[in-house]
Structure 1
Amino acid sequence: MRLLLVEDNVALADELLPLFKGYGYAVDWRVDGRDALLAVHDESYDMVVLDLGLPGLDGLQVLQHWRAEGVTLPVLILTARDAWAERLEGLRAGADDYLSKPFHPDELLLRVQAVLRRSHGTVNSPRLEAGGLALDEDRQSVWQGDQEYELTRGEFRLLRCFMLHPGKVLSRMELSEHLYDGESERDSNVLEVHISRLRRKLGDPVIETRRNQGYRFKK
């Protein structure tokens, strides 16, 4: 899953970037609201974590512009503002969730997981379930029946993306854009390596290859 973090507090961003990456998210960082406004049109993201107090263009204005343009990307707002009126204003503008600063990193991660699952029509539960598998996002492992398999970070990121889109054919480009934030990774054969390893652990039928189309995770 690929996130866009829009936050002008460098110290906080320095804390959040490795936190997100440690939990298997690819993440891009923007500081200025004007840059964020354009970023969602230039890249493919699964979700935005958006601060309100931004230079250039306020976060609320950024969100309002996105929604007016028809951008339906899930957005979680971060803000140091405590006024209920401002929270309601953000939710009315189209925010999917709201978190006030200061916050505990674990709460932010759980809220991100919840928003992503809701946006894909998945029931919010301790585990992500699809195709006979149960993915434990905290342990970064997967259960198949009574058998638990440990996953590498790359395997975890890829399997989570598949399980959030069961039955959908995902092209190699789509998978790469949602998984990796480095051009060198996107251009390598790392995606095929991770798919091969997942098939060895979980069985070949779990991920189907569609010739000239991409890959499909079974429902």
Structure 2
Amino acid sequence: MKILVVEDDQKTAEYIARGLNEAGHICDVMKDGTDALFQVTREQYDVLVVDRMIPGLDGLSLIKAARAAKIKTPAMFLTSVSGVDDRVEGLEAGGDDYLTKPFAFSELLARLNALARRPPSLDQKTVLKVADLELDLVKRQVSRQGIAIELQPREFTLLEVLMRGEGRVLTRTMLLERVWDFHFDPKTSVVETHVSRLRAKIDKPFEVPLLHTVRNTGYCIHAPR
């Protein structure tokens, strides 16, 4: 899944992001509601995790504005505001779930998985396709020409990032940030190693390659031209 966490407490945000990344998900973190609203209008997410008390637009206003803009991404409020009226207010604002702090990460993850399994609206994709390659975000399955392909969690996330950016070149730095949550260069060949493993599984057994190396720039996945 690709998840946006809107949380202004740095420790909480880092804790959530680390756990989601370790579970094999892509996680973006923002601390300002106004910036987050702009982000969800230009980037597609599978689930939103939103604190109610954030700078800029507060969490309620953020979700109300997103729903007014026809953004139907499932949203969970994660907040210390825990009264019954507060929970009702959050759900009526367009939230799909409400979890109060302090929380167990295992419960957070289970609830996010449950939200992602809900039947999608017509404009939400749960299956990514590039030519004859398919990635099912809900079932976490990959296949090409109908043949199942077994991927490790990090390989699955790497493929998801590449397929979401179909036709666009993603640099090594971009992949380090989106797949491994590295905001620095670890000076290792982790990207190259995983790309090589992924290519061996999704390309080499088949006639037409989809995953391409753009010399001195990065990697790109696209259908045959």
Query: What does 1:60-209 correspond to in 2, within 5 Å?
Result: 60-120=60-120, 128=139, 151=152, 153=154, 155-158=155-158, 171-173=166-168, 180=179, 193=196, 195-199=198-202, 204=206
User: Contact 1:158 / 1:194 at 8 angstroms: preserved in 2?
Assistant: no
Amino acid at match of 2:76: L
SS at structure 2 position matched to 1:60: helix
Equivalent in the alignment of 2:8: 8
1:111 to 1:190, Cα distance in 2 relative to 1, 3 A: farther
Quote the Cα distance in structure 2 between the aligned partners of 1:175 and 1:115. 29
Quote the Cα distance in structure 1 between the aligned partners of 2:170 and 2:120. 16
Quote the Cα distance in structure 1 between the aligned partners of 2:153 and 2:142. 20
Quote the Cα distance in structure 1 between the aligned partners of 2:169 and 2:91. 29
Query: Where does the alignment leave 5 or more consecutive residues of structure 2 unmatched?
Result: 127-137, 186-190, 212-220
Quote the Cα distance in structure 2 between the aligned partners of 1:38 and 1:174. 23
Question: Is it true that 1:49 corresponds to 2:61 in the alignment?
Answer: no
1:126-169 CA deviation, whole Å, 9 max, x = no partner?
Answer: x937579xxxxxxxxxxx7xxx967151x13256789xx9xxx9
Residue 61 of structure 1: how far off its partner (Å): 0.6
SS at structure 2 position matched to 1:91: helix
1:159 to 1:149, Cα distance in 2 relative to 1, 3 A: same
Residue 81 of structure 1: how far off its partner (Å): 1.4
SS at structure 1 position matched to 2:64: helix
Give the structure-2-normalised TM-score: 0.63
Quote the Cα distance in structure 2 between the aligned partners of 1:68 and 1:194. 43
Quote the Cα distance in structure 2 between the aligned partners of 1:30 and 1:199. 33
1:170 to 1:7, Cα distance in 2 relative to 1, 3 A: closer
User: Contact 1:170 / 1:214 at 8 angstroms: preserved in 2?
Assistant: no
Paired-residue identity, %: 32
Which has the bigger relative contact order, CA under 8 A and spacing at least 6? 1
SS at structure 2 position matched to 1:85: helix
Give the structure-1-normalised TM-score: 0.65
Amino acid at match of 1:151: Q
> What is the count of residue pairs matched by the alignment?
189
Query: How much is the aligned-residue C-alpha RMSD, in angstroms?
Result: 4.2
Residue 44 of structure 1: how far off its partner (Å): 3.0
Residue 170 of structure 1: how far off its partner (Å): 8.3
Residue 83 of structure 1: how far off its partner (Å): 1.3
Amino acid at match of 2:25: Y
Quote the Cα distance in structure 2 between the aligned partners of 1:41 and 1:62. 11
